[in-house]
Structure 1
Amino acid sequence: MESIVQDIKNGNIESFKMIYQQYHAKLYFYVLKCTHSVYLAEETVQLSFILLWERREKLSANFNISSQLFRIAKSVMTDLLRKQQVRNKHTESMIRETPNWHMETDISVKEELNRVYHSIEQLSPVRKNVFKLSRFEGLPHKEIARQLSISPKTVENHIVRAIRQLKDSLLLLFFLIISSLF
């Protein structure tokens, strides 16, 4: 095993690949068992092998490669958990400081969606039907053309005109809202 450590220290990529193949799954399941997080396990394993390669000159021939790799992984895992804890504290702090923010956002999003739906309902019946089949049901132009017995080019024209009409009506609505504020 000492020769493996020395090979990696010397930059032997084949020895590194062999260690990667041998310890990747073991390291992954070790971290997964400790953190119960697939993301943290994947991230820790990836960063551990990167650090092993980047700091290969500092490897000790007195210890086997697995103990050095697992020591690196433990350090990386601790660091990631610490960062996650800090992120969680900041998120909780933001939520406490702005408790109504998400409610206000939800309300404004619902209002915007209502405006969009209202604008869609203002389209001509055929154009509205084509637009809904395309955008809400995700049907391709050929399928819409087949269902409505019209050409795919007509479907495309309806969609282009519907989008233009929706942009115009929503832009007009936007200007009306802005002008009412001043």
Structure 2
Amino acid sequence: MIDLQEIALKIRSGDKHAFEVLFRHSYGTMCGYAKKYIADTDEAEGIVQDVFVNFWERRDAIEISDSIEAYLYRSVRNSCLNQLKHSQVKAKYAMEQVLAYKNTDAVTTDTLEDLELQQKIDACIDSLPIERRKIFKLSREDGLKYKEIANELNISIKTVENQMGKALKHLRTHLAEYLPFLVWIILVLKNNFMIWIGVIVFGVVNI
């Protein structure tokens, strides 16, 4: 059992070893906490890492009124909420774009076909590494749960989670420019195939 109060004092004085001890002690639980807000594993872990980096860089100026763990949990929560707010702002902007297109009849089925959105999605999925693509398709096309995929491929659930997180991040990156059209499909055409793609690009919920 480590003395977190003592660890905090050592970190404030610049003790890197103490910081490493804190990181190893708290990183896993902090990531689990972040995932309650952010479904994407990579993104949640990135937020936690940023919190620790910021804590180290600002160690002299940070005032901790309670415990160091309480401070870290609070920082992780605030960072997650800021990320969700940012994602919601992007979604709101996309909605406004959709309404503008709809009102001017700028977006039609033919236009969507011209954009070859479906081909773009297929290309993104096909560009995934073989094992990651297999896991992704078992989840999205066959509807298997993570535990079922792990049993099917004889791998750990953690591996499935990590690979799915990387696959979703890849799709978000490469499909972000099509967000207004995806939203339009969901709201107007009610295309079920595109619904989960649209949610992936929003970056708010992992289906």
- TM-score normalised by structure 1 residue count: 0.52
| Alpha carbons of structure 1 residues 83 and 20: separation in structure 2 relative to 1, 3 Å | same
Equivalence for 1:46: 49
Distance apart, 1:109 and its partner CA:
4.7
Shift in CA distance, 92/20, structure 1 to aligned 2, threshold 3 Å: same
**1:67 paired to 2:59:** no
Mapped pair 1:33 → 2:36: yes
The percentage of counterpart residues that share the same residue type is: 21
- Structure 1 CA distance for aligned equivalents of residues 96 and 73 of structure 2: 34
Higher helix share: 1
Distance 2:108 2:12 in 1: 52
Q: Rg larger in 1 or in 2? A: 1
Q: Is the contact made by 2:64 and 2:71 (CA closer than 8 Å) also made in structure 1?
A: no
Q: TM-score, normalised by structure 2?
A: 0.46
- Structure 1 stretches of 5 or more lacking a match? 114-182
Corresponding residue for 1:91? 94
Other structure's SS at 2:92 match? helix
Cα RMSD for the two superposed structures: 2.5
Higher relative contact order (CA 8 A, sep 6+): 2
SS for the counterpart of 2:60 is helix
Taking a change above 3 Å as real, the CA distance of residues 38 and 101 of structure 1, as seen in their structure-2 partners, is farther
Unaligned 5+ residue runs, structure 2? 120-207
CA contact (8 A) 1:28 1:45 kept: yes
